[in-house]
């Protein structure tokens, strides 16, 4: 599957996956979908289950990438994460968190930033 056909987001996802794998993440799912919505990436980082949102931009015109995970989107991700954990019977003792990978495509190459535990729901 080539990155071009899937557009900017798809290319960003490919970049994010190799970036995270280099840092020891074990990718479980890409583009996990259920009726509640979608999560870009689910991975194990050590023993921690990480739900990863990938944000790709070519400029900062509409703000920095991680800012685009607004409150409503956060709540939605939380719902999807819970559905995933329920469907897979994930053990209750597992720690889960939300990470954001912010990618900026620049003329000199991609700039990748990983924000672990980017947001919590209160």
Site for other proteins, rule CB under 8 A: 26, 28-29, 44, 47, 49, 81-83, 85-97
Maximum Cα interatomic distance, the chain, rounded to a whole number of Å: 45
Contact 101, 114 (CB under 8 A): yes
Contact 26, 52 (CB under 8 A): no
- How far is residue 4's CA from residue 6's CA, in Å, rounded to a whole number? 5
Looking at the Cβ atoms of 65 and 98, the one nearer to other proteins is: 98
Q: How far is the CB of 88 from other proteins (least distance, A)?
A: 5
Looking at the Cβ atoms of 15 and 43, the one nearer to other proteins is: 43
- How far is residue 88's CA from residue 85's CA, in Å, rounded to a whole number? 5
Q: How far is the CB of 82 from other proteins (least distance, A)?
A: 7
Looking at the Cβ atoms of 96 and 114, the one nearer to other proteins is: 96
Q: How far is the CB of 1 from other proteins (least distance, A)?
A: 18
Tokens of 22: 């280099």
């Amino acid at each position: 599957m080539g990155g071009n056909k899937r557009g900017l987001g798809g290319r960003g996802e490919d970049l994010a996956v190799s970036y995270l794998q280099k840092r020891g993440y074990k990718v479980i799912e890409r583009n996990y979908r259920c009726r509640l919505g979608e999560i870009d990436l689910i991975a194990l980082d050590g023993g921690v289950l990480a739900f990863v949102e990938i944000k790709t931009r070519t400029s900062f015109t509409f703000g920095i990438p991680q800012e685009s995970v607004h409150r409503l989107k956060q709540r939605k991700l939380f719902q999807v994460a819970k559905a995933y954990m329920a469907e897979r019977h994930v053990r209750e003792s597992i720690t889960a968190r939300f990470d954001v990978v912010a990618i900026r495509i620049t003329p000199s190459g991609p700039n990748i930033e990983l924000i672990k535990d980017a947001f919590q729901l209160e």
